[in-house]
Each structure stands twice: as structure tokens, then as C-alpha cells.
Amino acid sequence: MFIVHNPKVGLRGFVVIDNTALGPGKGGIRLTRTVTLEEVAKLARAMTWKNALADIPFGGAKAGIVADSDVPTRERKAELINAFAQAIRHIVPELYIAGPDMNVTQEEMRIFAETVGNMKACTGKPKELGGLPHELGSTGFGVFHATRVAADFLGLELSDARVAIEGFGNVGSFAGKFLSEAGAKLVGVSDIEGLVYNENGLNYEMLIEARDKRGSVIEYEGKKKILPNHDIIKLDVDILVTAAIPNLIQAHEAGLVKAKLIVEGSNIPMTQKVEEMLAQRGILIIPDFVANAGGVISSYVEYIGGTEQKMFRLVKEKITKNTKMVLERSAETLHTRAAALAIARERVLKKCGWCVDS
């Protein structure tokens, strides 16, 4: 753990390196007014398991910088990131590799890398510095492949599947793109404004046009119904992809879910207790750190200087393999999160039997 304080620029920050058994600790920099050391420590542990389950040679870490406003200006962010990079340059990238997180973008990663003087200091850099842009859709591409494997496990043909997607940002829209290209029928898509629904299917390109040109998927110009966005969890579909808010499904709503398969493209869309309640009903869930690992796999490819083509190939290969492993281990109970955590722990413990606890 490294605590950073620079009173000259008003910097307060910290880096928590949870585990380096598999490689240098990898995790983004969170820049918010409320970020705490405890929060960063929990996220660093989560990154240990996420990187191990993704099967990439990174350990777990996370960093936090305490902002002095809820929406820091670009100039203020640049000042804080520059000072933070100077303060921790002695541990980068041998022990810690940074990345973007809340309020931190590719421009801040440019500053971080240039301040440290090493392009391997962080991922999420601009393309001209060797970055692999978020706009490529690596996370959504991984969510698609996790969905494909899980559907096959259930004996569900994607070309016959009815799909709902909660959230149509980077993750949800790319998951929707690849699913629709595979023949799945998008029947419901939500965003912050509401839920657009058509039991006969929605056109993907028209959804993108509604979002980008008119501000929301509910401005979709084809035949539709407009419902409250939270109704996404109640739709009569085969597959529900979560790709936006945490705690989407509460315990008292578990009985309302009709989907046979839930793929967690978002982080923590429900508690483990809710996941277990749904599993008892025979609903299969692919946990967040299995399904949405495309982003960290892309980070690894950027770190080693790989191409976009290599990134897509590796995301497909690793998420397909890891999803299959999780499903095979949890076939009887459907407790997929426990199975995924067990696999991640085994990979870490194989390298270092004493260096991580539960």
C-alpha cells in the first residue's frame, strides 16, 4: 500500500497492490471526491480475481485520487494525475500498471505515461501512443462470447433466442451488435430514459441511430412500446444482458425474472444472494468478472504492444475457455460465481501458496 500526499497541489491518493503472484498489479485509477482507501483495497482484491480468471499475467491492484469536486475540470485532473504519476513512478510498471477508471480517460493516461516516461506505465492510452481504444468494443465482444458459450450449454440456439439488453452504452451496444449478427432477436433495450420493446424484434442499426442522433433508444422510429427502464428485468426473454447499473435486480424481484440466462456485462448487477436465488429457480448466470473480462484482456494486449486483431482473437479465446470451465465446474448447482472464484484462486495459489487469503 502506498499513500501519496502533495500539499502543494492538494493531492491525496493511494495505491493498493493486492497481489503480484501472476504479474504486476493491474487496476485503474479512480478519481472521485468520495474515494477511500477501503474502497480501493476492495477493488484491488476484485482485480486479483478478475485478472486471474481472465488468465492474463497480471496481479490485482487499484489506485484512488481524492478529487476536490464532483466533476473535476480537465485542467485539475491533469494537475492531479501528473503529481500522482511523479509520486509513484518508482513502482511503475514493475509493481503497478495504471488504467482509466471513474473520471479518468485516455487523456489522463497520456499524461500518466508521459510523466513516468514509460508507455508500459498504463493502459487505456490514446491510439497514437499504442492504446487500444475503448470504442473497439472489447468488453461487449467478450460478453457476446460468454453468452454464446452459455447458450450452447443450455441447448439454446442464438439464432432463435430473444434477448434484452439493460444499458446501451459501450458494453451493451457492442454486445447487441455481435448478438444480432449471430441471429439473436433484440426485443428489449433500455437506457436511462426508458425501455424500448417490440416482441417481434428491434433493428440494431435503428437503435444506434436513435441513441446517437436523438439521444435515447426510446426515440427508436420503428414499431415499439415504451416502458419504464426497470421493466427490463421482467421481460419474457431467453437472455438478459446487464450492461449498466449495479444492484439492478433486488432480492424481492428475483421471482419476476423470466430469462433463462443472465449475462453480467455490468459490475455487480445483483448480490451473490440474489444470484443464488435465481440459480435455485434454474436460471443460469454468467458472473461479471467472467463475462466482462474483455476489457482487462484488451489491456494486456495493449501492454505487450499487440494489435487490434490480436486483442479480438485473445478475448474470444480466453473468455470462451474460461466460461466453459466455470460452467463445467458448476453444472450441478449453477453456482457459477463460486466456481469462478475457485478457479481464480487456484491460479493464484499455484504461483504462490501463501500470498492471498479469501
pLDDT (0 to 100) of residue 352 = 78
Residue 338: burial class (beta carbons within 10 Å; 0-12, 13-18, 19+): middle
Residue at grid coordinates 439454446? 156
Residue at grid coordinates 473535476? 72
pLDDT (0 to 100) of residue 358 = 52
Average pLDDT over residues 185-192: 98
pLDDT (0 to 100) of residue 355 = 60
Separation between Cα atoms, residue 21 and residue 199, nearest integer Å: 49
pTM: 0.94
Separation between Cα atoms, residue 187 and residue 278, nearest integer Å: 22
Contact 260, 235 (CB under 8 A): no
Separation between Cα atoms, residue 178 and residue 144, nearest integer Å: 6
Q: What is the DSSP letter of 162?
A: E
State yes or no: pLDDT of 354 exceeds 80: no
pLDDT (0 to 100) of residue 351 = 85
Average pLDDT over residues 70-94: 97
pLDDT (0 to 100) of residue 135 = 86
pLDDT (0 to 100) of residue 324 = 98
Q: What is the DSSP letter of 123?
A: S
Locate CATH 3.40.50.10860 in the chain: 2-47+60-124
pLDDT (0 to 100) of residue 185 = 98
Coil, strand or helix at 320: helix
Torsion, Cα 236 241 243 247, to 10 degrees, reads 70
- 8 annotated active-site: no
CA 10 to chain centre: 31
> What's the CATH number of domain 2-47+60-124, 3.40.50.12780, 3.40.50.10860, 3.40.50.150, 3.30.565.10?
3.40.50.10860
pLDDT (0 to 100) of residue 227 = 97
Locate CATH 3.40.50.720 in the chain: 138-347
Nearest CA among 78, 75, 83, 5 for reference residue 37: 5
State yes or no: pLDDT of 75 exceeds 60: yes
Residue 73: which residues within 8 A CB-CB, separation 6 or more?
Answer: none
Average pLDDT over residues 152-160: 96
Distances (CA, A) of 236 to 163, 175, 233, 282: 9, 19, 9, 15
Q: What percent of the chain has pLDDT over 70?
A: 98
Average pLDDT over residues 280-293: 97
State yes or no: pLDDT of 338 exceeds 60: yes
State the chain's mean pLDDT as an integer. Answer: 96
Nearest CA among 291, 283, 266 for reference residue 143: 291
Per CATH, is 138-347 categorized as 3.40.50.720? yes
DSSP per position, 284-300: EEE-HHHHTTHHHHHHH
For 12-44, write each residue's pLDDT tens digit: 999 999 999 999 999 999 999 999 999 999 999
Q: What percent of the chain has pLDDT over 90?
A: 96
Residue 7: which residues within 8 A CB-CB, separation 6 or more?
Answer: none
Question: Nine-digit cell at 264?
Answer: 453480467
For 223-280, write each residue's pLDDT tens digit: 999 999 999 999 999 999 999 999 999 999 999 999 999 999 999 999 999 999 999 9
pLDDT (0 to 100) of residue 356 = 55
State yes or no: pLDDT of 103 exceeds 70: yes
DSSP H or E stretch at residue 19 = strand 11-19
Separation between Cα atoms, residue 19 and residue 315, nearest integer Å: 23
Catalytic pick among 26, 42, 50, 62: 62
Separation between Cα atoms, residue 51 and residue 6, nearest integer Å: 31
Higher pLDDT, 358 or 151: 151
State yes or no: pLDDT of 108 exceeds 90: yes
Give ∠ CA 42-43-45 in degrees, rounded to 5.
Answer: 65
State yes or no: pLDDT of 353 exceeds 80: no
